[in-house]
A = this chain, B = another copy of it.
Amino acid sequence: MNAPTIAHINCADCPIRHRAVCARCEADELEALDTIKYYRTYEAGQPIIWSGDVMNFVGSVVSGIATLTQTMEDGRTQMVGLLLPSDFVGRPGRDGAAYNVVATTDLVMCCFRKKPFEDLMAKTPHIAHRLLEMTLDELDAAREWMLVLGRKTAREKIASLLSIIARRDASLTPDGAVQSMTFDLPLTREAMADYLGLTLETVSRQVSALKKDGVISLEGKRRVTVPDMGRLMEEAGDDSDGGFLL
C-alpha cells in the first residue's frame, strides 16, 4: 500500500489541508487511528460540551468553527479559544471539560473515544509528541492573547483579531507572502467582544473606525478585505517585521 504523505494525528483522510503535518507517523499507526475514529456533526449555535461535563472523547475540527468560553456566575463571559479546522479539542488524561465549547457555524468534528485514544497514545510515542507540540502552540497563542487582553487598546485589539483570523485563513490556502486579502468574519460582534474583553458596541465602533481609516473595507457585515496586511499588523501593535510570511 502507499505510505501517506500527509499524516495528522487525527485523520489521514480528512478533506481539509491540515495546518500541521506529522511526517514521522507510520502507515500502520494511521490505520490504527482509522479504526477507532468517527465523525460527528453539529449545527450552528449548538453546544458541544458544557464546562464541567464529563467528556468521553477527544477530537479535532474538520470544518466549521467553534469557540471555547469561560463564564462567571453573573454572566460575564470570556472566549479563551477559537477552534478552526485542524484544532484539537479535549484533554487526554482528564475527564471534566474546563470550558464551554460551542459550534458557531455548522461543524464537523473527527472524534475518538477517549480511552482507545489514550491507549493508542501510550503505544505510539509520535502521537504524544505531536500532541505536545500542538499544546505548546496553543499555549503560545494563549499567552500572545494575554498581551492583547491586558495591554492593548480597543482599536489594537480589533486589528489583532482580524490579523489572527486572516493569518489562520491564509494558512489554509497559502501563497507565500501575502499583501492583501479577503475573508469572512466567522464571528458576530458579540463573539468578537467576548474574545477581546470589550463590549459589542465598542467592537462595532472600532470596526467602523478602521473602515473609515481605510485599514479594512467591508462588503456586508461579515466579508472583510484588508488591502494591506502590513498596515493591519501595525495597527495591531505587533512588531511588523516587514513582510507577511507564513
CB interface residues, A 33-82, toward B, < 8 Å: 68, 70, 72-74, 76-78, 80-81
Q: Per-residue 0/1 for A85-112: is the Cβ within 8 Å of any B Cβ (1 yes, 0 no)?
A: 0000001111000110000000000000
Contacts of A128 in B (CB 8 A): 125, 128-129, 132
- For A, the interface residue count at a CB cutoff of 8 angstroms equals 43
Contacts of A12 in B (CB 8 A): none
A73 to B156, CA, bound (A): 14
Contacts of A196 in B (CB 8 A): 150
Contacts of A132 in B (CB 8 A): 92-93, 128, 131-132, 135
Instruction: State whether A136 and B133 are in contact (beta carbons under 8 Å apart), knowing that A125-B128, A143-B99, A146-B146 are contacts in the complex.
Output: no
Q: Kindly state whether residue A21 has any CB partner on chain B within 8 Å.
A: no
Contacting residue for A143 out of B133, B142, B150, CB 8 A? B142
A240's closest neighbor in chain B, by CB?
A: B73
User: Copies per complex?
Assistant: 2
Instruction: State whether A72 and B151 are in contact (beta carbons under 8 Å apart), knowing that A98-B140, A140-B98 are contacts in the complex.
Output: yes
Distance from A196 Cβ to chain B, minimum over Cβ atoms (Å): 7
Instruction: State whether A80 and B146 are in contact (beta carbons under 8 Å apart), knowing that A73-B239, A125-B128, A197-B151 are contacts in the complex.
Output: yes
A197's closest neighbor in chain B, by CB?
A: B150
Distance from A120 Cβ to chain B, minimum over Cβ atoms (Å): 12
Distance from A106 Cβ to chain B, minimum over Cβ atoms (Å): 25
Q: Kindly state whether residue A144 has any CB partner on chain B within 8 Å.
A: yes
Contacts of A129 in B (CB 8 A): 93, 121-122, 128
A7 to B128, CA, bound (A): 20
Q: Kindly state whether residue A149 has any CB partner on chain B within 8 Å.
A: yes
A138 to B72, CA, bound (A): 21
Interface on A for B, CB 8 Å cutoff?
68, 70, 72-74, 76-78, 80-81, 91-94, 98-99, 121-122, 125, 128-129, 131-133, 135-136, 138-140, 142-147, 149-152, 196-197, 237, 239
